């Protein structure tokens, strides 16, 4: 009897442990964009909330085609007087908490394009030496080594982004390469690059795109778009990109109640489901959106 009881208890404990591990492995994560509003608080403060697993510094909007690369972090610091090197300690404090910190290149209002394969190599070398594991005397964010590069390509050209990703991975395969395409599939700018299999995470912008975003009471177009993304590109994980408040985008905000009751249950069963990406930290501070959804993601 004692043997049988012990076996039953052990089996039950093992089953519960396996269930917990399975649920943990499927748990989604939250990515946030930080850097485009000086009133959103510091990078260290964002990481201290415990709400985010990925923080994306936005943006490096000027690069490529012979241009001198230049970051723009709105009201946070002046890159022209090397003020942004002070972010290094914040980056390290985030990483000490296990948070991955990436630099987003591009954006909606930048001046960027990759003119050739050689240009892609040049830009990759610049990014490696100035933000990643390489060496440079003029690192814009100081000595901290970022975890990866995010491609938020919304203009310029649709050429050579795959080359850029390939060169970056060539420096170190552990460099995270992510992207933020629009939800119409395939993305007009980096659709080709996303087929390379070099992208670790893709946070699809399901906003400002009414035909494929979730609309209250109508989920089928959104579900169809989601299925295209999870089946159409060889990325490790696909994230649901959303505005963090009603004012963060023109369309596409999903109230937390709708997200947790309707939208997330429709996509969380996907093996490639990674979590939720939010634009942006400023809007999240105003709305408290990440706090209200974190336990459901």
Residue 135 has which token pair? 């060496």
Distances (CA, A) of 27 to 13, 47, 100: 21, 19, 17
**Which position has the token pair 């943006």?**
59
Nearest Cα neighbor of 277 from 257, 258, 261, 293 is: 293
Catalytic residue among 83, 154, 218, 223: 154
Tell me how far apart the alpha carbons of residues 9 and 3 are, in angstroms, rounded to a whole number: 10
Peptide bond into 186 cis (omega under 30): yes
Q: Please identify which residue in the block is written with the tokens 């893709």.
A: 202
Residue written as tokens 């492995």? 25
Residues 6+ positions from 19 with CB-CB distance below 8 Å: none
Catalytic site residue 154?
yes
Q: From the centroid of its chain, how far is CA 72?
A: 18
Provide the annotated active-site residues: 154
């Amino acid at each position: 009897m004692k043997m049988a009881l012990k076996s039953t208890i052990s089996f039950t404990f093992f089953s519960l442990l396996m269930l917990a591990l399975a649920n943990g492995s499927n748990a989604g994560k939250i990515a946030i964009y930080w850097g485009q509003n000086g009133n959103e608080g510091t990078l260290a403060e964002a990481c201290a909330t415990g709400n985010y697993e990925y923080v994306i510094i936005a943006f490096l909007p000027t690069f490529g085609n012979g241009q001198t690369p230049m970051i723009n972090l709105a009201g946070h610091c002046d890159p022209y007087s090397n003020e942004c090197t002070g972010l290094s300690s914040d980056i390290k404090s985030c990483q000490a908490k296990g948070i991955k910190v990436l630099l987003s290149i591009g954006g909606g209002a930048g001046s960027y394009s990759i003119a050739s394969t050689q240009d892609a190599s040049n830009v990759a070398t610049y990014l490696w030496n100035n933000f990643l594991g390489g060496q440079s005397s003029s690192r814009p964010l100081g000595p901290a080594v970022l975890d990866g590069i995010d491609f938020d390509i919304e203009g310029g050209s649709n050429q050579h982004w795959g080359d850029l990703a390939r060169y970056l991975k060539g420096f170190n395969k552990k460099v995270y390469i992510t992207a933020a395409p629009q939800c119409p599939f395939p993305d007009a700018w980096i659709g080709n690059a996303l087929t390379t299999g070099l992208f670790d995470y893709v946070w699809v912008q399901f906003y400002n795109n009414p035909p494929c975003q979730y609309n209250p009471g109508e989920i089928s177009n959104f579900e169809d778009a989601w299925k295209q993304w999870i089946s159409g590109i060889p990325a490790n994980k696909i994230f649901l990109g959303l505005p963090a408040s009603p004012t963060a985008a023109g369309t596409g905000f999903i109230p937390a109640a709708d997200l947790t009751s309707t939208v997330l249950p429709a996509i969380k069963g996907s093996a490639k489901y990674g979590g939720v990406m939010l634009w942006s930290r400023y809007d999240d501070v105003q709305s408290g959106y990440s706090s209200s959804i974190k336990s459901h993601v």
